[in-house]
Amino acid sequence: MQSPIESYLRRLHAELSELRTGRPYQGIPAMAGADPEDFAICLATVDGYVYEVGDADTEFSIQSVSKPFTYGLALEDLGPEAVDEKIDVEPSGDAFNEISLAAGSGRPANAMINAGAIAATSLIKGSGGRKGFDRILSLYSDFAGRPLAVRESIYRSELRTGHRNRALAYLLRSFDVIERDPEQGLRNYFRQCSVMVNARDLALMAATLANGGTHPVTGKEVMGIDSIQRVLSVMMTCGMYDDAGSWTSAVGMPAKSGVGGGLLAVLPGQLGLAVYSPPLNDHGSSVRGVAASERMAADMELHFVRAARMGKSVIRERYDLTEAPSGVRHNDEATAVLAEHGHRAQILELNGDLLFAGAESMVRAVSALPDEVELVILDVRRVDEVGDVALTMLCELRDELAAARRRLVLIEAEGSIADAVATGRNDVPVFGTRNDAVEWAEEWLIAVHGARGLVPDVVQIPDFPAVGPLEPGQVAALEELMEERRYDDGQVIRRVGQKFGGIYFILSGKVATTSTQHGHRFRHATLGAGMTFGEIALGGDRGQSLRVTADGRVQLKVLSAEAIERLEQDTPELALSFWKAVARDAYTRVEQNFREAAVRERDQTLDE
């Protein structure tokens, strides 16, 4: 099933493909012929999952998107104090190639404009037998998670036409910001701008920044958290040049654009975003890249003010119905159906905040479920904050499941999720407890995958499993001793502490067994037609251990304590056979209860 996030990105890509303003950068001849129709959007999470639409494999030169990474390497090599002596961290408000140096010191305003980037590149020295640029290229490759390379034709074109950058380099040399011959640092700068990447590379590079410097796929720690903090701070205030204020207000993510058409944005702790589209606006940034970033920040609530928490998975546990059955006792045929098909109903317990990152991890997990899963049960009772983007994703998930003839089921007593998701063209059952949801799911699976009439509405005494080992004549003799009783919905049939009152045979309807602990009533099991209760009270001094209540209208036959006493006196052989059958049936139920107890105990507090 296609993820709602993929669906959203495809719609956004199709819509923004119609933007025709701007043109590819003409200042570097080797890049002037870039195809204006190329367009890719990639989003990478901090656990390494990449969503991509469009021309995600098309390579382009990284250009100024390289600046944060080289700046980070300088910080790693020299420390912030030494780097700050050469490069400031203040927004310049100038264009990317402005000749903007501080009066007196000649220090560039920041490392995101060309002057500061050239200074940062000049700070990178050779080490361990590797030249300075080799270390830069190795760092970029580690951030991307694959080997990257320089496009020599673009490098030579930059070398021939980069007169303004050459002037900046010599100005920096005149102030001793660059302390040696500026030509080597300048060539390294042109080379780093000529490194070829694709949109997927940029998304993973951004996700590595978002992940505190550790690549989300390779697991390699590429850069320390202190350097990452400084890099992202400067990107936030300076990365979009003279458009930084508008960007921070509208998008609210540290970002960097390049004249090659690439744009990278970072939501710390959650994701990296990359867009590639060559046509540029007046600020030297991709027209479609800016538009896509603004739309996604608004639609997915990616602005740092709204999405400030770490993007960890909200999935607490995941299991199917075979691992966590309800307390309903089913007949042998229905039990066999659930054993075979219980895996078709998956329960996902969520916790924490359901903002973009949490919702993304949830819908990704649901989208990856096998096609044979027909019921997706989301338990959202432990969810704290819920964003609008999460509600939108859940509604889209509901509709995607319905289109595939699958169903979303919700466990939430009341709240914004149920209000949003349960209303719409596709029905979503909502339950207040896990046990209620599982009971419904079991009935649904039995109805869909079982034979017609598998769970009968009415069961006669000869068909009860509890008397299955007896001969027909013995069953008839027992039935003659029984009395019929009827109860209305909610009426108490047995109270806790009552002495043994006989064995109750449910002919039709259902009963619920409950107990009270610490002032809370807990539901233990639901019994239906063909099942019995009451026999456990015979084995304890305290009598009835659970309260039994009619769940709807109920018809019973009762073999009372007095009738059993007469049976034992008049026909002891029949009484012995009867007790053996009852004991066998009771043992089967106790064994089932032990299997289910752990699951029910975990959920009792929330269920009430």
The three-state (H, E, C) secondary structure of 446-474, written as one string? HHHHCCCCCCCCECCHHHCHHHCCCCHHH
Q: For residue 280, what is the DSSP state?
A: B
Label residues 464-495 b or e (16+ Cβ within 10 Å = b).
Answer: bbbbeebeeebbebbeebbeeeebeeeeebbe
- The verdict on residue 563 lying in a domain is yes
Q: Is residue 593 domain-resident?
A: yes
Window from 94-108, 340-354, 397-411 with minimum mean pLDDT: 94-108
The pLDDT tens digits for 454-487 are 878 899 999 888 898 899 999 999 999 999 999 9
* Cα–Cα distance, 52 to 50 (Å, whole number): 6
Q: Is the pLDDT of residue 608 over 50?
A: no
Q: Which residues contact 139 (CB under 8 A, 6 or more apart)?
A: 69, 70, 72, 73, 222, 223
**What number is the average pLDDT over the span 537-544?**
62
The domain of 347 spans 315-449
Q: What pLDDT does 465 receive? A: 82
User: Are 390 and 483 found together in one domain?
Assistant: no
Of 421, 449, 477, which closes a domain? 449
Alpha-carbon gap, residue 250 to 262, rounded angstroms:
19
Task: Compute CA distances 513 → 176, 371, 466, 522, 594, whole Å.
Answer: 85, 36, 19, 9, 16
pLDDT digits (tens, 9 = 90+) for 201-222: 999 999 999 999 999 999 999 9
Note the pLDDT of residue 534: 86
- pLDDT higher at 147 or 2: 147
183 located within any domain = yes
Q: How far is CA 278 from the centre of its chain?
A: 32
Domain limit, last residue, from 406, 424, 449: 449
DSSP letters, 23-88, are B---SSGGGTT--TT--EEEEEETTS-EEEEESTT--EE-GGGGHHHHHHHHHHHH-HHHHHHH--
Domain match, 159 and 226 both = yes
pLDDT (0 to 100) of residue 482? 96
Q: Report the number of distinct structural domains present in the chain.
A: 3
Answer yes or no: do 468 and 587 share one domain: yes
Nearest to 596 by CA among 442, 376, 469, 430: 442
- Residue 528: pLDDT band by 50, 70, 90 thresholds? confident
Domain check: are 248 and 109 in the same one?
yes
pTM here is 0.76
Q: Do 33 and 101 belong together in one domain?
A: yes
Would residue 384 count as lying in a domain?
Answer: yes
Q: In what order do the strands lie in the sheet with 430-431?
A: 315-320, 345-354, 375-386, 407-411, 430-431
Say if residue 128 is in the same domain as residue 275: yes
Which pLDDT score is estimated for 594? 55
Exposed e or buried b per residue across 409-445, where buried means at least 16 C-beta atoms within 10 angstroms of its C-beta: bbbbeeebbbebbbeeebebbbbbbbbbbbbbbbbbb
Answer yes or no: do 365 and 486 share one domain. Answer: no
488 and 579 within one domain = yes
Q: For residue range 158-195, what is the model confidence (pLDDT) as tens digits?
A: 999 999 999 999 999 999 999 999 999 999 999 999 99
Pairing of strands 407-411, 430-431: parallel
| Residue 421 maps to a domain | yes
pLDDT of 539: 55
Residue 377 and residue 285 share a domain: no
Same domain, 41 and 115: yes
Would you state the pLDDT for residue 310? 52
Q: Which CATH number is 559's domain given?
A: 2.60.120.10
555 in Cβ contact with 486 (< 8 Å): yes
Regarding whether 529 and 467 lie in a shared domain, the answer is yes
Whichever domain contains 414, its CATH number is 3.30.750.24
Residue with tokens 């959920």: 603
Going by C-alpha positions, the residue among 464, 456, 453, 457 that lies closest to residue 557 is 464
Q: Is residue 455 part of a domain?
A: no
In a domain, 456, yes or no: no
Q: What is the mean pLDDT of residues 30-56?
A: 96
Residue type, 63: Q
pLDDT above 70 for 102: yes
**Does the residue 307 lie in any domain?**
no
- Per-residue pLDDT band for 574 (boundaries 50, 70, 90) equals very high
Q: What is the mean pLDDT of the chain?
A: 90
Bridge partners, residue 195, by sequence: 150
Q: pLDDT tens, 213-255?
A: 999 999 999 999 999 999 999 999 999 988 888 999 999 999 9
pLDDT class of 600 with cuts at 50, 70, 90 = very low
Predicted confidence at residue 518, as pLDDT, reads 62
**Once rounded to an integer, what is the mean pLDDT over residues 350-367?**
90
Out of 392, 416, 449, a domain closes at 449
Residue 590 has pLDDT above 70, yes or no: no
User: What does the pLDDT read at residue 379?
Assistant: 96
Same domain for 84 and 124, yes or no, is: yes
Retrieve residue 246's tokens. Answer: 């508008």
